[in-house]
Amino acid sequence: MKRLPYWAHNPETPGSTPVFRYHLSQADIQLDWLIAKAFLNTLKCPICKSRLDLYEVHDKSRKYNFCCSSNWEHYRIFFIHWEATLRVEYETVVVYEGKHQYHLTQYDDNRTELFVYDVDAENRIIDVKDKKPFLGRYSQKMFDFTNTTKEKIINRVKTILVFS
């Protein structure tokens, strides 16, 4: 098990690294983990189809625990594997196209957030004073990340933006 130092934890934090290792030492939890892993193996990065890897980090106010194994920025999720029902509470996809970064977060309770940032030639977000990035909030899941491609996601974003 890789040690991931980013996430400040306390003994109560589920998924935090030392607690996690302790849990793995218990046989029943180990079985749960195998089931969780099987579930995880069904998830692929929507951008490059890579498998997901452990990744514990806070991003703004959110925390994530798994991401695309070839590029964390493609796809990252908060996967709840310590409750009876396995679920992805939210998932974030980042795609670049021309002068824009599209930052999509989709929630288990049927919500989607879409940020559109201006980026430079190196895909760095350009902070323009007095110009906030576009933010769209939708009360449904706008994307199906299970069977898609980068191109399909970009086309979907453009369709959504036309109607925003």
Report the nearest approach of Zn ion to the CB of residue 163 (Å): 28
- Toward Zn ion, which CB reaches closer, 20 or 145? 145
Report the nearest approach of Zn ion to the CB of residue 136 (Å): 23
Candidates 45, 52, 142, 157; binder of Zn ion (CB under 5 A) is: 45
50 in contact with Zn ion (CB under 5 A):
yes
Task: Centre a 10 Å sphere on the Cβ of residue 2 and count the other Cβ atoms it contains.
Answer: 8
Task: Write the CB contacts of 111 (distance below 8 Å, at least 6 apart in sequence).
Answer: 137, 138, 139, 140, 141
For Zn ion, what does the binding mask look like between residues 51 and 80, x meaning CB under 5 A?
-----------------x--x--x------
19 in contact with Zn ion (CB under 5 A):
no
Q: Which residue has the tokens 């969780």?
A: 36
Instruction: Output the six-digit token pair for 41.
Output: 């193996």
94 in contact with Zn ion (CB under 5 A):
no
Report the nearest approach of Zn ion to the CB of residue 45 (Å): 3
- Toward Zn ion, which CB reaches closer, 26 or 71? 71
104 in contact with Zn ion (CB under 5 A):
no
Residue type, 78: F
Report the nearest approach of Zn ion to the CB of residue 72 (Å): 8
**Backbone φ and ψ of 162, nearest 5°:** -60, -35
- Toward Zn ion, which CB reaches closer, 52 or 157? 52
Candidates 4, 29, 36, 48; binder of Zn ion (CB under 5 A) is: 48
**Residue ranges that bind Zn ion, judged by CB under 5 A:** 45, 47-48, 50, 68, 71, 74
